[in-house]
């Protein structure tokens, strides 16, 4: 997939968000709380028919019902963007059944993270569609202070240049500068997709990775897997997420050492701590498929600069 990617339409106040559950079953009370928060923030909300389904197992309904909801949300002319209730597991089951023409031609932003990395990788592969690692309805919007509104507004509102830094948790593990297209998501989903037709076919120059419940040796193992699979070739800089949901505070030093060990042959700058994805507060929105510049030479003031708008209009 070559740059530039296809940008969806901007989401502004008054726009309508279509709520779907492509992965695991969501808590109905949390969904309701998240819907209220989105409405208070100035958005219209449309919850699709199977978004609150439960089962079989831990899934949010049958594969065909989850696919039908996702297609309906992208086809609905009243819906401006599609947002997920939560992650979990199950999105990969949908990939063989997704309608490329419908989704890629919709012009709609797709918002989610965690297991939804599988769908976002599919979007990059099939049509280079910019999507967003963004707060979800039940997982983040339902919590007071769960959403970083600054990055949400900048990414989805079409701000041409904006930055993230220490205020969003970013720290430097290895100093340096790098520039390129930002891609990324949940580490486990990327690693497990290797060897399948749904592995990401192209990586940008800047890679962001995060996860939950992943111990230091598991970070080491999966990063080594990506390196051996050639998936770090062409990557100029790496940013890792907030590790607070991966391991206890006492293991944080070991985790950082494990990451640096796994990436010992990687020459570019490395950041860590960016509060996006599996976090306990202020979830930062990141667009996949836009150019960014990492400025990590000043360790006390690390910056990730977004160099273009992520949306059209």
93 is an active site residue: no
Cα 23 off chain centre by: 14
- Alpha-carbon distance of 141 to 150, in angstroms, equals 14
Q: pLDDT exceeding 90 applies to what percent of the chain?
A: 94
In Å, the largest CA–CA distance within the chain is 51
d(CA 309, CA 289): 10
pLDDT at 2: 58
Query: In this structure, what DSSP letter does residue 244 have?
Result: G
Residue 151's nearest CA partner among 280, 276, 14, 288 is 276
pLDDT at 313: 85
295 has catalytic annotation: no
Among candidate residues 21, 24, 278, 295, the one labeled active-site is 278
Q: Confidence band (pLDDT; 50, 70, 90) for 202?
A: low
Tens digits of residue pLDDT in 208-219: 999 999 999 999
249-305 pLDDT, tens digit per residue, is: 889 999 999 999 999 999 999 999 999 999 999 999 999 999 999 999 999 999 999
Selecting among 21, 114, 193, 276, the annotated active-site residue is: 114
pLDDT at res. 4: 76
Parallel, antiparallel, or unpaired for β 131-133 and 44-47? unpaired
Entry pTM? 0.97
Note the pLDDT of residue 46: 98
pLDDT band at 200 (very low <50, low <70, confident <90, very high): confident
pLDDT in tens, 148-194: 999 999 999 999 999 999 999 999 999 999 999 999 999 999 999 99
Task: Find the catalytic residue in 24, 193, 210, 246.
Answer: 210
pLDDT at 136: 99
Residue whose pair of structure tokens reads 């502004």 in the numeric block: 12
Picking from 80, 107, 111, 86, the residue whose alpha carbon sits closest to that of residue 17 is 80
For the chain, give me the number of helices (H) and strands (E)? 8, 14
Active site residue 163: no
d(CA 265, CA 60): 41
């Amino acid at each position: 997939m070559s740059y530039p990617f296809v940008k969806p339409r901007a989401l502004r106040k008054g726009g309508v968000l279509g709520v779907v559950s492509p992965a695991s079953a969501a808590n109905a009370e949390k969904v309701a709380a998240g819907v209220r928060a989105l409405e208070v923030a100035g958005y219209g909300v449309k919850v699709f028919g199977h978004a609150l389904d439960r089962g079989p197992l831990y899934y949010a309904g049958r594969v065909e019902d989850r696919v039908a909801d996702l297609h309906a949300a992208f086809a609905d002319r009243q819906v401006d963007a599609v947002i997920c209730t939560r992650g979990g597991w199950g999105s990969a089951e949908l990939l063989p059944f997704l309608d490329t023409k419908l989704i890629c031609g919709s012009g709609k932003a797709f918002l989610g993270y965690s297991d939804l990395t599988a769908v976002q990788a599919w979007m990059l592969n099939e049509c280079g569609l910019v999507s967003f690692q963004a707060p979800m309805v039940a997982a983040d919007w339902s919590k007071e202070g769960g959403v970083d509104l600054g990055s949400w507004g900048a990414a989805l509102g079409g701000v041409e240049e904006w930055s993230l830094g220490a205020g969003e948790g970013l720290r430097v593990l290895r100093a340096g500068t790098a520039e390129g297209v930002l891609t990324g998501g949940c580490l486990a989903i990327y690693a497990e997709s290797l060897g399948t037709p749904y592995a990401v076919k192209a990586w940008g120059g800047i890679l962001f990775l995060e996860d939950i419940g992943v111990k230091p040796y598991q970070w080491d193992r999966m990063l080594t897997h990506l390196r051996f699979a050639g998936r770090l070739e062409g990557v100029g800089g790496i940013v890792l997420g907030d590790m607070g949901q991966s391991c206890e505070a006492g293991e944080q030093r070991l985790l950082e050492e494990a990451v640096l060990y796994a990436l010992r042959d990687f020459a570019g700058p490395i950041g860590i701590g960016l509060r996006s994805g599996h976090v306990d507060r202020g979830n930062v929105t990141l667009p996949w498929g836009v150019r960014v510049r990492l400025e990590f030479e000043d360790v006390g003031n690390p910056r990730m600069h977004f160099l273009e708008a992520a949306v059209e209009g």
